[in-house]
Amino acid sequence: MINTVWGSTDKPVASKQLAQILSAEADLDGTLYIGYPIIGTPEGSFPIDALLISPSKGLVLISLVEGKVLPDYAEIQDEAFNKMRSKLLQHQALIRRRDLQVKPQTLTFAPAVAQLPDCEKDGGLVCNTDTLLSAIGNLEDFNAEFYKPLVSVIQAISTLRRGRKKRELHSQTSRGSKVKALEESIANLDSQQSAAVVETYEGVQRIRGLAGCGKTIVLALKVAYLHARHPDWLIAVTFNTRSLKKQFENLITTFVLEQANEEPDWEKVRIINAWGAPGGKERTGIYYEFCRDHGVEYSDFGPAKARYGSNKAFESVCDIALQGVKQLAPKYDAILVDEAQDFAPNFLLLCYEYLKEPKRLVYAYDELQNLGNRSLPPVEDIFGKNTDGTPRVVIHPAEAGKPKQDIILDTCYRNSRPVLSTAHALGFGVYRDKGLVQIFENKTLWFDIGYEAKEGEIDDGELVTLRRTPDSSPDFLERHSSVEDLIRFEVFDSVEEQTAWLVAEIKRNLVEEELIPDDIVVINPDPLKTKDAVGPARQMLMREGVNSNLAGVTTIADVFTEPGTVTFTGIYRAKGNEAAMVYVINAQDCYDAFLPRNVALVRNRLFTAITRSKAWVRVLGVGKTMAALKAEYEKAKAANFALHFRYPTEGERKTMQTVNRDMSKAEQERSTRRRINFAEIIESLDSGESILEDYPDELVKKLEAHLARKSKHKRK
């Protein structure tokens, strides 16, 4: 079966016909890319119309002809062949001695051309809808030995996560050596992530996933891909955490250099704050520009906070700006929003109104990293309705022959299974004496984010045991160290004891364990207390000759880490960043809250802090509440990091925080309709009104396969 990844294309009709024909061919396996890859050349970027990677035929470059006139197809095929061959020659895995083992094959697909030429003389190949499959069948067979490395080369958009830090390593078993090995293992994007980068929907698209699944990297590379594909577009990427700005700049620069062989045009690609203020290019923001371009009232944070309160400030000023517009003046061709869960929904609406048709808005989020008391509502509520009462935006299900509008990244490449499961156990309060703190509004989201039911069912009032699947939590992330070393909880009698232990451990990391200062981040979950809370530890480290910085205070706001320094930070600036060794201090502040409605808020802070770690995490705290938090961890550890709890009933869910899946009304209706239809089928079979033979064999086989998998999971 052919899986199609839909990039941006200026040949939509021919692309759709090509995808429909190939995806319907059961005997053909592989992946079809539309509008990808883009090959960097001395003359700039060279986009490939379509590319087929097949175990049987290898790499097939397909030129598309949209109209009825056939261009110089042989010259186009030759140029694509030469440029792709040059790209492949850069990868040693595809070479034996001096010879490239993968020969790109070329053809031209011209569905609307009435009379196709005889191509035997020049060796080119032109086909239409009637001859496409036979043309591919007649291509040279491929040596399957090189299929996996070939797929890796095409899918590995960039080795952006490979460690570039200078390390002096003397022990193969030191922490420093383990970090280097981890960085090499996760250097390349996987197929799911690379598809998310390329997949281009002409409208609103959302990307969801856990901390560490690569949302920020995918979003940055999507910006770069769109810029390389459409250098004339004005594209903005915005975010809530200012310390992500440098990360976005580095990612976009690296990828555009790969794709277009030139620096990004920063007049066309804008890494821009969400709020912004007057004062030039570095201070501007989406909201500020929207106000300026539409002649509506702009409010700075100080006055807005004083008038509406810090939690409602941005939401209120966005509301005023939207209401004050007399005539919309769309400016951007695409806007991408990271950390959307931390924005008021009307900021997404403001971005939407600021876009030219077809309103290319991409927003990425993880509800469990929501550090405020809000969840994203359905898209129909965010973007409103047309004059005829129909929703302006609808999330459509995945459909063959069309780009995906809703992308879920379920594989976590940062946190090991014990670390991520611990973060979920504490974030939800799975092993809390008082019971759950929050729960997903939609039960199936557990499966979307990489869990499976080991025992029981996710049904109201039923006991269930959930665990991470091997695919969603790769084993190599935890093989390097024992469970006791991957994650530790430490309880102290005083803040002074906590500080002394922290400083001693950091010194050991640097002196004995071959970590470098850049590998270490210390997070204080309460943002209001961070400056005072980290002061003593920073002073002690300074006396020991260890430099440190306080992100956003001793560094500029757009920088999170500085080379050669240990980073101390509050939880807000930690978001979107990661480190090999993470110390969470004063975790007792995350056990409970004075106001019951804030318990989920402080638990989310702890979840976010723990999930910054890509290797080891130390959770430190003081007193009885920290001891209670550690007791929750010990229960998770005793369960081998499975989540065992009684699923709350509908009435119980109403009394706790529910975490939205941003499930649109259309999705809710489809889900309800599927359940009703399935119940009707079972009732019909039970009553004898119908028999299995009445249903298509293919449908019955698929149902049997699903039930077999479910039964297998239960037995496990």
Same domain, residue pair 630 and 674: no
Range of the domain at 384: 191-409
Read off the pLDDT band of 667 (50, 70, 90): low
| Residue 69 included in any domain | yes
**DSSP-assigned letters across all residues of 118-179:** --TTTT--EE-TTTHHHHHHTSPP--GGGHHHHHHHHH----TTS--S------TTSHHHHH
End-to-end distance of the chain based on CA atoms, in angstroms? 30
Segment 518-544 mean pLDDT: 95
State which amino acid sits at residue 596: P
E strands present in 219-281: 235-238, 269-271
Is residue 438 domain-resident? Answer: yes
State how beta strands 406-409 and 355-365 pair: unpaired
Is there a contact between 590 and 624 (Cβ–Cβ < 8 Å)?
Answer: no
Q: Which of 218-227, 450-459, 701-710 has the lowest mean pLDDT?
A: 701-710
The DSSP symbol for 242 reads G
pLDDT band for 160, please (50, 70, 90 cuts): low
Domain boundary at 361, 384, 409, which?
A: 409
Region 353-365: mean pLDDT is: 96
Residue 179 lies in a domain: no
Share of the chain above pLDDT 70, in %: 88
Whether the Cβ atoms of residue 492 and residue 621 lie closer than 8 Å to each other:
yes
Question: For the chain, how long is the longest CA-to-CA vector?
Answer: 86
Burial of residue 672, with CB atoms counted within 10 A of its CB: 0-12 exposed, 13-18 middle, 19 or more buried? exposed
> Would you say residue 160 lies in a domain?
no
Same domain, 371 and 259: yes
- Ramachandran class of 579: left when φ > 0, alpha when ψ lies in -120 to 50, beta otherwise: beta
What's the CA dihedral at 630, 635, 641, 645 to 10 degrees?
-120
Structure tokens at 421: 């499961």
Entry field: residues in the chain: 716
Q: Which residues contact 390 (CB under 8 A, 6 or more apart)?
A: none
Alpha-carbon span 552 to 99, nearest angstrom? 51
Question: In this structure, are residues 648 and 439 in contact, taking their beta carbons and an 8 Å threshold?
Answer: yes
Q: SS3 string of 60-101?
A: EEEEECCCCCCCCHHHHHHHHHHHHHHHHCCCHHHEECCEEC
pLDDT in tens, 402-431: 899 999 888 888 899 999 999 999 999 999
* Residue 148 shares a structural domain with residue 6: yes
Residue-level pLDDT at 475: 93
Q: Is 370 within 8 Å of 357 (Cβ atoms)?
A: no
Return the CATH number at 399.
Answer: 3.40.50.300
What whole-number distance in Å separates Cα of residue 145 and Cα of residue 483? 37
DSSP 397: P
Same domain, 345 and 443: no
Cα separation, 524 vs 587, whole angstroms: 8
- Tell me the average pLDDT across 700-711: 65
CATH code, domain with 66? 3.40.1350
The mean pLDDT of 114-119, rounded to a whole number, is: 80
Residue 506: its pLDDT value, please? 98
More confident residue, 686 or 125: 125
Tell me the C-alpha distance between 439 and 430, whole Å. Answer: 10
Is 388 exposed, middle or buried (CB count within 10 Å of its CB: 0-12, 13-18, 19+)?
exposed
Based on the fold, state whether residues 702 and 681 are members of the same structural domain: yes
Q: Does a structural domain hold residue 227? A: yes
Residues 377, 497, single domain; the answer is: no
Q: What is the pLDDT of residue 690?
A: 60
- Position 678 scores a pLDDT of 64
pLDDT at 661 (0 to 100): 44
Please check whether residue 176 is in contact with residue 167, taking contact to mean a CB–CB distance below 8 angstroms: yes
Which of 409, 433, 464 is a domain's end point?
409
| For the chain, percent of residues with pLDDT exceeding 90 | 64
The enclosing H or E element of 356 equals strand 355-365
The reply to whether 393 and 441 lie within a common domain is no
Q: What does the pLDDT read at residue 111?
A: 95
pLDDT band per the 50, 70, 90 thresholds, residue 451: very high
Please state the pTM of the whole predicted model: 0.78
pLDDT digits (tens, 9 = 90+) for 24-81: 888 899 999 999 999 888 887 889 999 999 999 999 999 999 999 999 999 999 999 9
**279 — pLDDT class (breaks 50, 70, 90):** confident
Q: Using CA atoms, how far apart are residues 52 and 139, in angstroms rounded to an integer?
A: 12
The full DSSP string for 628-666 is: HHHHHHHHHHHTTT-EEEEPPPHHHHTTSEEE-----HH
What pLDDT does 714 receive?
A: 47
Span of 18-22, 49-53, 73-77, 338-342 with lowest mean pLDDT: 338-342
**Whether residue 502 is found in the same domain as residue 617:** yes
Q: Are residues 216 and 359 both part of a single domain? A: yes
**CB of 341 within 8 A of CB of 366?**
yes
Domains: count for the chain: 4
Looking at per-residue pLDDT, the higher value among 708 and 115 belongs to: 115
Instruction: Provide the pLDDT for residue 261.
Output: 79
Coil, helix or strand for 590? helix
Phi and psi, residue 278, nearest 5° = -65, 155
Q: Residue 332: phi, psi to the nearest 5? A: -95, 150
Place 666 in a pLDDT band, splitting at 50, 70 and 90: low
Residue 112: inside a domain: yes
Q: What is the mean pLDDT of the chain?
A: 88
Residue 638 has pLDDT above 80, yes or no: yes
Q: State whether 429 and 513 are in the same domain.
A: yes
91 has a pLDDT exceeding 90: no
| Residue predicted with more confidence, 163 or 639 | 639
Q: Is the pLDDT of residue 683 over 90?
A: no
Q: What pLDDT band is residue 188 in, cutting at 50, 70 and 90?
A: low
Does 529 map to a domain? yes
Cα 451 from Cα 471, distance rounded (Å): 10
pLDDT on residue 212: 74
| Nearest CA-CA partner of 50 in 75, 83, 89, 80 | 80
Residues 19 and 85 in one domain: yes
Residue finishing a domain among 639, 659, 679: 659
Residue 621: is its pLDDT beyond 50?
yes
- Is there a domain that residue 180 lies in? no
Peptide bond into 117 cis (omega under 30): no
Burial of 349 (0-12, 13-18, 19+ CB in 10 A): buried
Strand duo 30-34 + 50-54: pairing: antiparallel
Give yes or no for residue 713 having a pLDDT over 60.
no
Answer left, alpha or beta for residue 359, where phi above 0 means left and psi between -120 and 50 means alpha. Answer: left
Q: For residue 1, what pLDDT band results from cuts at 50, 70 and 90?
A: confident
Contact 159, 187 (CB under 8 A): yes
Q: What is the predicted pLDDT for the residue at 418?
A: 97
Closest CA to 35 of 408, 409, 403: 403
- Residue 366 structure tokens: 């993880």
Q: How confident is the model at residue 152 (pLDDT cuts 50, 70, 90)?
A: confident
Choose between 611 and 209: higher pLDDT: 611
Beta pairing partners, 344: none
- 239 and 312: one domain? yes
The model's pLDDT over 262-277, given as tens digits with 9 standing for 90+, comes to: 899 999 999 999 999 9
- Pick 679 or 491 by higher pLDDT: 491
